[in-house]
Amino acid sequence: MLQRNPHVSQTHHDAVTMRELRTTLFFSVQDQVGALDECLHALKAADVSMTRIESRPSKVAERGYDFFVDIDARTKELVECVVEEIKRVKIVRDVRIVSSLGALESLGGGEGSQGLDQQVPWFPRKVSDLDTFAEKVLEMGEELSSDHPGAKDPVYRRRRMEIVQKAKEYRSGQPLPHIDYTEQEKDTWRQVYTRLRDMYPKYACREFLHVLPLLEQNCAYGPDNIPQIEDISRFLKDCTGFTLRPVMGLLTPRDFLNSLAFRVFHSTQYIRHHSDPYYTPEPDCCHELLGHVPLFADPNFAELTQEVGLASLGASDEDIEKLATIFWFTAEFGLCREDGSIRAYGAGLLSSFGELEYALTEVPTRLEFEPSKTVEQKYPITEYQPVYFVADSFRDATAKLREFNATMKRPFQVRYNPYTQSVDVLNSKDKVQHFARSISNEMQLLASALEHV
């Protein structure tokens, strides 16, 4: 779930500077007087500077707290020293390194390896690394702003907390959380589903219209049922290899985009407040399941979104901002040409009655999708977009995106390995040669197949 938060910097978790590399530590403490002071004293004893600290109710220490702490660490030895100092504090439980210099050092090695610049931010290497994002959210699902329709509804808030807790506890490899939706929640879904379903034939792109009936047949999509993400994830994996995982709330753009590299989409499971089913100030399951999910079953769209994700791995803060803007104007608010007309494929449009209709009028400005120009476009997050970008096709958009990604300053290339659900960093001669051999094998298979066509 990617949404800009006007009150939080989009690089909230990225404290990499020109001379220092962020290390994020996670630890839990029991709730007692002076607990945090003891931990901070341990950091001081290790002679490191703390740049950020976040706390959450603990799931490890009973009546305690979990902390994420960013420190400036220049060497692996210093990181290890800090960990040992914190472990000496008796009230501390479960000390872990979420990201560190050591993790980056492990990317190098091998014949002809050039290593990685130590300014490269940490990024996930395997799909299970996405578990580190589980509790690193800008806003949690039960934290509602004062103007949220459900802010003053204690029953709704408790329900949100119940659903968010399941997302917090989820880890890779486990069954996705099953939500027994209430009749009131189903009624809210019904109103949204019915109205949008009637609009789609007129406004949605053909790929979306092709997949939606398949979701109705295979994943119990319909006006009277809110589908379960476990069923949807299995369906998507069979189609394109994409899967879903639950999320507590808003992720940083970096974390959200990184997950797309593994063909993983973070989806909320809570639903908007019943008092206003046609409005939500944040992404909810209506937005995720009706707006985003259908096109993840389309191979060309799946390739486009994964391309954004792969480009985000180890990218600079500046490039993350550009990639997030590209995602905004494609996967969230993208338009495409189709048989001489303009159709919508962005989730922000396909889950919004008003903007879906508005975007295809003559009121907003429509520009050709060119990544180098798209990244310069500013946009509002609380009102209809004044500008939309139009792609000729998903394939064309992907080709343009790859050309743009080649201009980024990242000092290495990455390749997704679907067999291991991991990312290979092509930063050595050995790795590049291995990749070349795999391409050669694929070319031989292609040549053989063409002989039989």
Asked if 431 contacts 437 with a C-beta cutoff of 8 angstroms, the reply is: no
Phi-psi region of 112 (alpha: psi -120 to 50; beta: other; left: phi over 0): left
Q: How many CB atoms lie within 10 A of CB 137?
A: 24
Asked if 293 contacts 242 with a C-beta cutoff of 8 angstroms, the reply is: no
Select which of 351, 352, 355, 428 is catalytic. 351
Select which of 142, 185, 332, 355 is catalytic. 332
Tell me whether strands 387-391 and 365-368 are parallel, antiparallel or unpaired. parallel
> How far apart, in whole angstroms, are the C-alpha atoms of residue 146 and residue 16?
33
Q: Is 287 part of the annotated catalytic residue set?
A: yes
> How far apart, in whole angstroms, are the C-alpha atoms of residue 405 and residue 427?
17
Select which of 287, 288, 352, 428 is catalytic. 287
Q: Is 143 part of the annotated catalytic residue set?
A: no
Residue keyed to tokens 């940490």: 122
Q: What is the CA radius of gyration of the chain?
A: 23
Asked if 114 contacts 427 with a C-beta cutoff of 8 angstroms, the reply is: yes
Q: Is 9 part of the annotated catalytic residue set?
A: no
Least Cα distance to 364 among 355, 352, 375 occurs for 355
Q: How many CB atoms lie within 10 A of CB 154?
A: 8
Extract the tokens encoding 412.
């290495």
Q: How many CB atoms lie within 10 A of CB 175?
A: 7
Q: Is 376 part of the annotated catalytic residue set?
A: no
Select which of 28, 292, 352, 355 is catalytic. 292
> How far apart, in whole angstroms, are the C-alpha atoms of residue 287 and residue 278?
11
Q: Which amino acid is it at 380?
A: P
Catalytically annotated residues: 287, 292, 332, 351
